[in-house]
Amino acid sequence: KPENIMLLDRNVPKPRIKIIDFGLAHKIDFGNEFKNIFGTPEFVAPEIVNYEPLGLEADMWSIGVITYILLSGASPFLGETKQETLANVSAVNYEFEEEFFSNTSALAKDFIRRLLVKDPKKRMTIQDSLLHPWIKPKDTQQVLSRKASAVNMEKFKKFAARRKWKQSVRLISLCQRLSRSFLSRSSMSVARSDDTLDEEDSFVMKAIIHAINDDNVPGLQHLLGSLTNYDVNQPNKHGTPPLLIAAGCGNIQMLQLLLKRGSRIDVQDKAGSNAIYWASRHGHVETLKFLSDNECPLDIKDKSGETALHVAARYGHVDVVQFLCSIGSNPNIQDKEEETPLHCAAWHGYYSVAKALCEAGCNVNVKNKEGETPLLTASARGYHDIVECLADHRADLHATDKDGHIALHLAVRRCQIEVVKTLISRGCFVDFQDRHGNTPLHVACKDGNVPIVMALCEASCSLDITNKYGRTPLHLAANNGILHVVRFLCLTGANVEALTSDGKTAEDLARAEQHEHVAGLLARLKKDTHRGIFIQQLRHTQNPQPRIKLKLFGYSGTGKTTLVESLKCGLIRSFFRRRRPRLSSTNSSRFPPSPLSSKPSVSVSITNLYPGCENVSVRSRSMMFEPGLTKGVLETLVSPAHHSHFSSDDQSTKAIDIQNAYLHGVGDFSIWEFSGNPVYFCCYDYFAANDHTAIHIVLFNLEEPYEIQLNQVTFWLNFLKSLVPVEEPIAFGGKLKSPLRVILVATHADIVNLPRPVAGEFWYDKDISLLKEIRNRFGNDLQISEKLFVLDAGASGSKDMKLLRNHLQEIRSQIISVSSI
């Protein structure tokens, strides 16, 4: 279009031309057919409007339109609306008006005419255009004729401005004459010339339409009173008479005025619609009453075969539908697509309209050209309320379309679960087969819709019906690799060994399509001995089976691995569980001297403390070292040079040990044991995560002095605290909304010979002070258990271990109950 043709320099006599805006451009591959609808309506070719294959011929059409505009200043196909413009293009509706082409040569018109041809094959090509006499003159006469048709932008601008000025002058002159005619009642003849009459009549029509749209009854009365011999039944350029526009606006006084001035009550627009049609489309009941009282025809069909009742149903005007039915409108009239008003209501989902039509006694089983009844239409579109209404009025639930589908087939295909349930509850036959032999279950299994498959199976549908190709629903699900559907069908009792027409089982079809997960399941179910076991494993249970995380933190030697093994032991196994012999406490390689006896400088570098952590981010280090919060915890975290056992002990946990296990008397857990070797600390914040559904156990060794115990626990709790982001709302004292759950466990109670009554618990004299100190520091940040568990990690059957199991079970139940809400 002209807007996309640019000059690189407007001051140069012959500037370079640049084409812009290739946003909608498409490179044509002549080997593949290409169709699309894009472009500015004024400039697109008919094949674009008609969605036909496109080629370079579409660009040649645009060149013809641009040439027309540059030579005349007018657009050949421009209409009042986009739809009118496209209609003009499709019909190749243009002409060379004398007003714009009086000075244009015949060669230029011929050039345009050869480009604006509807058939792309008959349109000039690029080569033809370049050889056209208007582009490449053959003699002197053609050269002179070509110069007369050259584009002169200055003249073009002046002409456009002059044309607008003339239109304004004529409009003002007409308004003055109409005003003088109204005031003096002098006679005025508007029949001076055909040209003047046509143009002035267009102004009068615009004035009449504006008055109708503005509900300006006095203005229209004055305007019509000032004119003589004016036919108020003549349509505007869209083919609509004023009476129909007034009916659409719903102004009864305007209708009365137009009828008084000679409008016919039965006048129609170019589409064949009358006033009742227009009033019905816009929902004006009072207007309909007025038109009915004045004997306006009721069931007039337009060119598409629709009546006023059709359009009222399509736009959802239930009050209009009720009124039209009350005055005798026929609800069973079919349009050219053989659809009734009930089809329209079912398609658009207007339940109240459908109900009104059913109550008016319409035929609910009428079929359109596609063989669809309103029930089929509503089922496919998912309007279960309309389906219920139609079923209440005895719609045939087993009516079929051209492909033999009933309403249940269409609802299943469109995944309309509510409609499926409604049809099943109404007694629809769930095993109905279409012309291909497919039941609704076949369709659902092929699409992989598990809820619909479940609904059909609950309705006792047959699982092993074969279609025309000998395939059962299980064959279709397996062929498409839909594991959930295959699992459910097998659970319900489908025959896994059924053969297709070519002798293949569902497993064979799954393997042929490389769906190994499906084929593996079907292979297990082939053997009768295993089938019952596997099917029982597939069955759903009412009991929740969550596996929450149990995370254990503590330095090496605190007994994390031993504690896990003890918690896993049952009653019988605990009697035979032997404690691993412990090395002497004098073995410095396994149990180094207390950090207090070999205390390094607090200024020791991070590199010396944790070799291998030189490249760790500052964020990760800051989570490990918080001197202000840990109160000297760095003093206990001596370098591996001082803790040689970190690198030499092969029995210690490496990094993070993860296992899924059942803790006896507690339940299933995903156990994460974090190594106590400081080399791994730098990466723990990436794995520990902020998990409110996990249980965190912090272990410390009672062989260490009290200060070391307190510092070690403080270190791990600071680490857990750093994992929890601050979230609002924050309670009083800075208490977090969802703190992590923490249990403190002191081990090696048997080694340090803590006092213990017979069949009782170990007694640790500093447990209250340690727990109080910890809860004072972290009570608002972490949810720390109120009891400190002092135990022997290897004694799986002790009372201390039982108390820990009971506490774990209590917390696990709380987490499960909160998660299931």
The pLDDT tens digits for 466-490 are 999 999 999 999 999 999 999 899 8
Q: What is the largest CA-CA distance in the chain?
A: 132
**Signed CA dihedral, 790, 792, 793, 796: sign only:** negative
**In the chain, pLDDT over 70 holds for what percent of residues?**
78
What is the average pLDDT score of the chain? Answer: 80
pLDDT of residue 458: 92
Q: What is the mean pLDDT of residues 300-327?
A: 94
Indicate the pTM of the whole model: 0.49
613-626 residue pLDDT tens: 443 333 333 333 33
Residues 208 and 320 in one domain: no
The CATH number assigned to the domain holding 528 equals 1.25.40.20
Which of 711, 592, 587 shows the shortest CA–CA distance to 640?
A: 592
In a domain, 557, yes or no: yes
**In the chain, pLDDT over 90 holds for what percent of residues?**
44
Q: pLDDT class for 642, splitting at 50, 70, 90?
A: very low
Residues 69 and 212 in one domain: no
Q: What is the mean pLDDT of residues 662-676?
A: 88
pLDDT of residue 1: 63
pLDDT of residue 105: 84
545-580 residue pLDDT tens: 567 899 999 998 899 999 999 998 865 555 545 444
Strand partners, 659: 671
Q: At 267, which amino acid appears? A: V
Q: 10 Å Cβ neighbour count for 125?
A: 11
Three-state SS for 693-754 is CCEEEEEEECCCCHHHHHHHHHHHHHHHHHHCCCCCCCCHHHCCCCCEEEEEEEECCCCCCC
pLDDT of residue 383: 95
Higher pLDDT, 685 or 435: 435
Which of 704, 551, 552 shows the shortest CA–CA distance to 638?
A: 704
Q: What is the mean pLDDT of residues 632-636?
A: 40
Q: pLDDT class for 544, splitting at 50, 70, 90?
A: low
In a domain, 599, yes or no: no
Is it the case that residue 599 has pLDDT exceeding 70? Answer: no
The CATH number assigned to the domain holding 96 equals 1.10.510.10
Higher pLDDT, 183 or 39: 39
Which of 395, 415, 443 is the endpoint of a domain? Answer: 395
pLDDT of residue 747: 94
The CATH number assigned to the domain holding 689 equals 3.40.50.300
* 477 and 489 Cβ atoms separated by less than 8 Å: yes
Which of 540, 570, 590 is the endpoint of a domain? Answer: 540
In a domain, 425, yes or no: no
pLDDT of residue 149: 62
Higher pLDDT, 687 or 734: 687
Is it the case that residue 360 has pLDDT exceeding 90? Answer: yes
Which of 295, 289, 239 shows the shortest CA–CA distance to 268?
A: 239
384-440 residue pLDDT tens: 999 999 999 999 999 999 999 999 999 999 999 999 999 999 999 999 999 999 999
Residues 497 and 560 in one domain: no
Is it the case that residue 582 has pLDDT exceeding 60? Answer: no
In a domain, 489, yes or no: yes
Which of 275, 294, 313 is the endpoint of a domain? Answer: 294
Strand partners, 7: 17
pLDDT of residue 38: 76
Tell me the H-state helices in 82-230.
82-91, 98-101, 106-115, 126-130, 140-148, 153-184, 194-213, 217-225
Is it the case that residue 190 has pLDDT exceeding 70? Answer: no
Residues 777 and 668 in one domain: yes
For the chain, the residue count is 821
* 35 and 54 Cβ atoms separated by less than 8 Å: yes
205-245 residue pLDDT tens: 877 887 888 788 887 887 777 666 778 898 888 889 999 99
698-732 residue pLDDT tens: 999 999 999 999 999 999 999 998 888 776 666 66
Q: What is the mean pLDDT of residues 57-72?
A: 88
State both tokens at 194: 């055909």
Higher pLDDT, 142 or 321: 321
Q: pLDDT class for 125, splitting at 50, 70, 90?
A: very high
Residues 698 and 816 in one domain: yes
Is it the case that residue 611 has pLDDT exceeding 70? Answer: no
**By residue range, what is the domain housing residue 221?**
199-294
In a domain, 59, yes or no: yes
Residues 143 and 213 in one domain: no
Residues 349 and 234 in one domain: no
Residues 774 and 665 in one domain: yes
Is the preceding omega at residue 120 within 30 degrees of 0, hence cis? Answer: no
Residues 313 and 283 in one domain: no
Residues 107 and 214 in one domain: no
Q: How many folded domains does the chain comprise?
A: 5
Is it the case that residue 643 has pLDDT exceeding 60? Answer: no
Residues 324 and 307 in one domain: yes
Most confident of 11-20, 95-104, 458-467: 458-467
In a domain, 175, yes or no: no
In a domain, 322, yes or no: yes
In a domain, 173, yes or no: no
Residues 330 and 250 in one domain: no
DSSP result, 372-420: --HHHHHHHHT-HHHHHHHHHTT--TT---TT---HHHHHHHTT-HHHH
pLDDT of residue 598: 39
